[in-house]
Structure 1
Amino acid sequence: MRNARPNLVGVNIYGGLGNQMFQYAAGLTLSERLGAELCFDIRHYERKDRGDRRLGLRDFGIELQSARVPPFKIGRRIATALRLLPTPFRGGTRLVSVEGFDPRFLKLTAPAALSGFFQSWHYFEGHEASVRRAFDIKRLATPRTAELAAELAAARNPVAIHIRRGDYTNSPETVAFFGLLHAEHYFAAKAALEARVERPTYFLFSDDPDIALAELQGWQGLRPVTGFSAYEDMHLMSSCRHFIIANSTFSWWAAWLGAAPDKLVIGPKQWFGPDYPYPVDPTDRSPPGWLMV
C-alpha cells in the first residue's frame, strides 16, 4: 500500500467494546455512502498499556482489514485535505471526533480517515439496518447464557438495569470528568418506567454488582446478573425488553440493539461530569423514542 488509494475509508479502533462499536458504525456508514473499501487500524490492541481492553469487534464475526490510520489526538477536530496523511490516505480527508456529531462527516470524500469517538447515532442515521447486521448480538451468546436468555424471552417485561463503575471511580478527577450516577437517577428512571410498563421484572448488570446492589437498596425484586463476561452481559442485556442505562456506551449499545419494537429506553440527561470540557448535545445519545431523566 505504497500509493494513495482513492476508494478507501480507514478507522482508528481503540477503547472498550462500546467505543469500538461507535467507531465501526461510523466507518461502515461512510464506506457505504462513498462506495468505498473499509479498513481499520487496530495497533492499539498490540500495546502493552492497553489495560484490560480487547478487540471485541471480532466477537461479532467482523473481519478487520488492516491499515495504518492517523492517530487520534484529543483537542483536534479537522476535516480537510491533508498532505501529511500517511499512505494510503495521502491527499484525502480526515475527521477527528472528540464529542458528538460533526456535520462535516457528511462532506467527507474518499480516501477518508476517521479517528475519535463518534458517540452519536447520527453518524449511522439511515444505515441502521447495516449496523444491526454487523452487530449480530446472537454471536455473543454462549452455552452459559442459554438458560437466562430463555428466561428473559419468556418474561413479559424484563428490564435491564446497568450501573457502570469501573474506571469511572479511579479518582475524584475521573468522577468529575465522566460522571457517576447514583440511586437518585435509577429510582427516577424506575418511576418513569413503571408509569408506562406493566409488571416489569428487573435484572441488574454491573461491573461492581455488590456496590450496585447496595446503591439500589430498597429496590424490590431486583435480580443481579453475575458470573458472565462483559460480552455475555451485552447479549443478555439486549435480550431484555426495556432498559435503564448508565452513561456508558456499553449499555447504550445493548439498549439500541434490543429488538422489541415497543422497547422503552431510559437514560441520564447528564451524560458526563461537571469537569467534562466539551459541549454536549443530549440528542446525540437519545434516538427518537428514548427518554432521558
Structure 2
Amino acid sequence: MTNYKITFSRLGSKGRLGNQLFQIASTIGMAKKNSFDYCFPKWEYSKYFEFDLKECFIDNKTFIKVREEKFEVYDWKLLNNKNINLDGWLQSEKYFDLKLTKKIFKFESIFLEKIKKEHIHFFDKKNILISVRRGDFVNHPYFYQVGFKFYIKALFNFFPDWKSRNIIFMSDDIKYCKKYYSFLKNSFFIEDLSDIEQIALGTLCDDYIISNSTFSWWIAWLGENKNTKIIRPKQNFRGEFLKKNDDKDFFPEQWIKFDDKTVLLEPKLYLVNIKIIIHDLIFDFNFYRKKYFYKFKQFIKKIIKYK
C-alpha cells in the first residue's frame, strides 16, 4: 500500500444516485487494484449504509486529475507517486472489488427494516420488481429506448408464474406506469419514496426486469443472489453514440439480455397485443405533436422577429 490516495472529488455533483454508486465502487476497486488508499468528499447518503466511507479534504494542488478515456473497461495508467482524482462515469462492475462493494453498500439494518415493514404486503409471496426509466431517457439520442413492449414481453416470456406473484413497479414516472400497467391485477406501484428508499426496498425483491439506467442497474445488482433472475435490455446506447462508445461492459455477463423485437406474444394474449398497439400509437402521436409544435413556435418567433 502506498501513502497516496485515489478519490472522486465530483461525488454528489456528477450524476444522481446510480452514477454516484458507480463512482464510489469503481474508485475503491481501482484503489485496491493499484495499492492506493482511497477517500471521498462528504457524501449525503453515507448515513444509510453500515460502512463508513473515508472522508478527506481534496486539494487540486495535491491531487492529479485523471479523466476516463472511454466507456468500456480499460487499464488506467495511474502514477503510483501521485494522489489521483478520478473523473468519469466508471460504469462497470469490472472495476469493482466485488465482495468489498457488497459490504460497502450494505444498508443500515434499522433503515432497511423500516422500509420493509412499511411495504410488508409486497413480500407475502414471491415478487418481480420492474424498474421503468422514463424522464430524460424518453427519445434521448444516446440511450437505447426501452418501452412498454419490453417490460410486458419480458414479464410474460421469462416468468410463466407471473400471475401468482406480486409485480412491483418502480419509476421516475409512476403516473405513466399506473396508467399503462394497472391492467395487471397483481401490480403494485411505489410512490412517495426517496431515491435511496427505493433502492433499499428494491434490493429485497426476488427477480428483476430493468431498464438501462444506472438506478435500475444498482437495484438489481445489490438485490442479486444465486437464485435471482435479472432481465435487462439488449444494449445501453444507440445510434451514432453507440458507434463511438462501446457499451459491452455496462451489464454483468450473467444478466439475461432480452430484445423485445424478437418475441411475439401468444395469440391468447390478443388483448395485451391491442394495448401495445394503442400505447405505441399514443406515444408516437404525443412525440410528433410536441416536436412539430415546438418547430411551429420557433417559426412564428422568427416571423415576429423579422417584422
* TM-score, normalisation: structure 2: 0.71
Distance 1:97 1:233 in 2: 32
Counterparts of 2:172 and 2:195 in 1: how far apart (Å)?
8
| Ranges in structure 1 where 5+ consecutive residues have no aligned partner | 43-53, 70-85
CA distance in structure 2 between the partners assigned to 1:94 and 1:196 by the alignment: 49
- Aligned equivalents of 2:221 and 2:215: distance in 1? 10
Task: Give the deviation of 1:203 after TM superposition.
Answer: 0.5
Whether 1:8 and 2:8 are equivalent positions in the alignment is no
Per-residue CA deviations over 1:96-139 (Å, capped at 9, x if unaligned) read 255232x223x534333311101111111xx2110001001345
Query: d(CA) in 2 for partners of 1:94 and 1:66?
Result: 18
Instruction: Count residues in correspondence.
Output: 249
- Determine the C-alpha separation between the residues in 2 that align with 1:291 and 1:219: 23
Match of 2:56 in 1: 66
Q: Find the residue that maps to 2:71 and give its secondary structure.
A: coil
- Structure number with larger C-alpha Rg: 2
Native 8 Å contact 1:242 1:264 kept in 2? yes
Residue identity opposite 2:157 in structure 1: A
C-alpha contact (below 8 Å) 2:4/2:37 kept by paired residues: yes
Residue 130 of structure 1 aligns to a residue whose secondary structure is helix
Secondary structure in structure 1 of the residue aligned to 2:205? coil
Change (3 A) 1:218 1:178: same
Q: CA separation in 1, counterparts of 2:63 and 2:39? A: 11
CA contact (8 A) 2:122 2:166 kept: no
1:40 counterpart SS class = coil
**1:45 equivalent in structure 2:** none
Q: Is the 8 A contact 1:98 1:117 kept in 2?
A: no
Letter matched to residue 191 of structure 1: F
Q: 1:177 touches 1:276 (CA, 8 Å); kept in 2? A: yes
The one of 102, 105, 111 aligned to 1:132? 102
SS at match of 1:189: helix
User: 1:237 deviation in Å?
Assistant: 0.8
- Which of 120, 131, 134 aligns to 1:165? It is 134
Q: Would the aligned equivalents of 1:138 and 1:235 in 2 still touch at CA under 8 Å?
A: no
Distance 2:62 2:218 in 1: 31
Candidates 241, 245, 248, aligned match of 1:279: 245
Deviations 1:129-172 (Å, cap 9, x if unpaired)? 10001001345526354231x444442x2111111123334xx5
- Which residue is equivalent to 1:82? none
Whether 1:251 aligns to 2:213 is no
Pair 1:220–1:120, CA change in 2 (3 A): same
Change (3 A) 1:280 1:212: farther
User: Aligned-residue CA RMSD in angstroms?
Assistant: 2.8
Name the CA distance, whole Å, in 2 between partners of 1:41 and 1:97: 23
CA 1:198–1:264: 2 relative to 1, 3 Å: farther
Task: Kindly provide the CA deviation profile for residues 168-219 of structure 1, in whole angstroms up to 9, marking residues without a partner as x.
Answer: 34xx5xx223344211111221133215879432101112111123233643
Q: Are 1:204 and 2:174 an aligned pair? A: no
Q: Distance in 1 between matches of 2:94 and 2:219?
A: 17
Work out the percentage of aligned pairs sharing the same amino acid.
24
More helix by share: 2
CA distance in 2, matches of 1:218, 1:30: 46
- Gap runs ≥5 in structure 2: 259-307
- Residue in structure 2 matched with residue 121 of structure 1 by the alignment: 93
The AA in structure 1 aligned to 2:45 is: G
Contact 2:143/2:237 (CA < 8 Å) preserved in 1?
yes
Residue aligned with 2:85, SS: strand
Q: Is 1:219 the equivalent of 2:191? A: no
- Does the CA-based 8 Å contact 1:182-1:215 persist in structure 2? no
Runs of 4+ off more than 4 Å = 195-198
Q: Per-residue CA shift, 1:244-268, capped at 9, x if unaligned?
A: 1111111111111115320000111
TM-score by length of 1: 0.74
Range 175-184 or range 232-241, more displaced: 175-184
Q: Is the 8 A contact 2:237 2:247 kept in 1?
A: no
CA drift at 1:7: 1.8
Is the CA contact (8 Å cut-off) linking 1:9 and 1:37 kept in structure 2?
A: yes
Conserved? CA contact 1:34–1:109, under 8 Å: no
